[in-house]
Structure 1
């Protein structure tokens, strides 16, 4: 089978690999689509270090079971995966905080993921409930967003909201936050430098969408500031903007992942008297993944128009370049 292998920083190669062989309890999936996540791009650039190359990356998967060594999983099921495989027994796992498990390893991070024709789901992942089945009538183009939506739902659960929210960045994650904010009835502001992404935010009925030179207009509409700011980008210039937009007592969620070495410096007396609530949400929980699946299956949310670019697996390098250049909204590989 063909696979896109992350070999080392700035080295991605297309290789012929054997179709994975299954052990008892394993499941084999034929990959339909696999979205390119910003974290994969950052790993390829050498900006983050939580990957274990050489490895087939890819964790935003939609696929169909083609072979199963577990009675409860049937051939022909359409699935996605919770890519975090944990021990299932420690304090963190018992608290639905698997991402902090000391024995955690990840599909597409530490073991081969979805940038390939076939993906093996190991027995431990299946037993931990990491295989999420969806009705076959749910399109692959929706299923591939379950993991990303799970991350956003987890952040929404952790964040303090009142009446208004500003979302900085309108890529696929920022636009997902727009959808969730509108479902929550929040006055929703978006800041995005790229015109085609601002247009998408407007189509999703954001209350005010601004370019970087239109911040005064946004502040005027927001009556001087917002109750919550969600950083959905890793543009370093957005850090100052977060605090500029925030009211006293606002909640600031640093959702965007920055390259290693970046720092946030705060004047602590000002922090104290401004009363900011600062947090950094990342990844998902088992609750948020299940809720994400439920919302997509029930039609409570959809991702129409998000998947703007598809590349065959053989052109994975070009797909990463497309993502790096911020063309469209979301790019996926098609094995």
Structure 2
């Protein structure tokens, strides 16, 4: 009878994991992770600073880039506390409420980034399809409204997550499979009916996939326009304006799709591979997006070089 009662006791702490089998090396792994977080936060703050202060960057494309930088910044800050606690101090415990809060912000900023990437694809389509009316179609007021609607939609979409997790009972398993909390990971630990969580989680995932489908359709329309350009130099010039965005889309979606495929079809894959890909999903986009846009955007690149020259002078 006592054994039965013990199994029904509510779990008060979840346990996250670092890299399985490498607990002794966590302190060394923490060095590149800390560096990546520092560069990601610094890079995105730099992008936001330049777009806010430089009037030459007050254009629709850069406003949308600032939204991407903001979502990347939120994604980094949301995962930073547990990642650093695990790899610096081997502290893996987290309370359910803190876990639910973290997964809300991670999913919220991920949904926001997905929406922004879709909006940016529409921005590129309008710029290529109708360049003369580009600034009048996407004026400052309209861009602000688009950004606000995108942010509200993303937060409302994941708003139920903490509440539908809160209603579950956790009484047997407490070990999560990542270095941070995700809805699909937490709900698997429940010892009560989690069908609502499964269905709603699938709905949110389909929304993200819909963004990806819309991005693909946008680029099909862009390619149709590009193929109609007779000049080879003109084709390359048009495509060059899309490279940064294409890189951002690949950087964001490839780890998500890879992780989803592994969870669904490769359940016997090494836990190390799962953890590395899951950590890549949160660490790489916020780090790489500022670098890609700084390299490909000559305006941002010139501003950064100018500031560096001023500091050296």
TM-score by length of 1: 0.27
Q: Which protein, 1 or 2, shows the higher relative CO under an 8 Å CA cutoff with sep ≥ 6?
A: 2
TM-score by length of 2: 0.28
Greater helix share, structure number: 2
Greater strand share, structure number: 1
- The structure number with the bigger radius of gyration is 2
